[in-house]
Amino acid sequence: MPEATNTPFAELPAALVDEVLTQTKDVSQRLLSAFGDLKAKKETWRSELSKKDLIQKQAALPFVNTPTTCGVDGSMAIERLLALDLVAVGAVAVEGLTPPSEARYWPEPRHLVYVNTEIHHADTGSVLRGIMAGNEMQLAKDAPHEVVFLDGSLTTPTIFFN
């Protein structure tokens, strides 16, 4: 068995790698130029915002309790085998900002998984997206947090359930 090497470009044509590296130099110069432009305009923008009284000190803002947060996301996969499709759907919820004074109880599991075999069908992906969206909504509903971030839009579950 060949020894594993740490060369990610080993199987790419040398000309392709050279072209990518050459174009990377141009991109880096454009990025540096764009950042320089932003830096040059920074004081002008700050001055304009100050004149409009839109910049204030944080201490001038009213005190607001920091809400607790979590994020929910899901994924699905279909592996089309000779006789059946192997399907997998997963959804996970991960805690985000939780103030140190908070003592929230969030029961396990904070994930939902579906793995199975299905017959070949054109609509399998649509059904799996519906299961994934449903699992994400279940986790979001059960989360004991004031703010729950969901990947996608508010219409995504409706589209997937349909």
What is the tens place of the pLDDT at every residue in 38-73? 999 999 999 999 999 999 888 888 888 888 889 999
Note the pLDDT tens digit of each residue in 8-43: 666 668 788 788 788 888 888 889 999 999 999 999
The pLDDT of residue 62 is 87
The string of DSSP codes covering 63-105 is P-PPPPEEEEEEEEEEEE-SSSEEEEEEEEEEE----TT----
Residue range 84-99: mean pLDDT, rounded: 89
Per-residue pLDDT at 4 exceeds 60? no
- Selection from 33, 146, 134 nearest residue 91 by Cα: 134
Q: Are 131 and 114 in contact (CB under 8 A)?
A: yes
pLDDT for residue 121: 95
Structure-token match 């971030």, residue found: 149
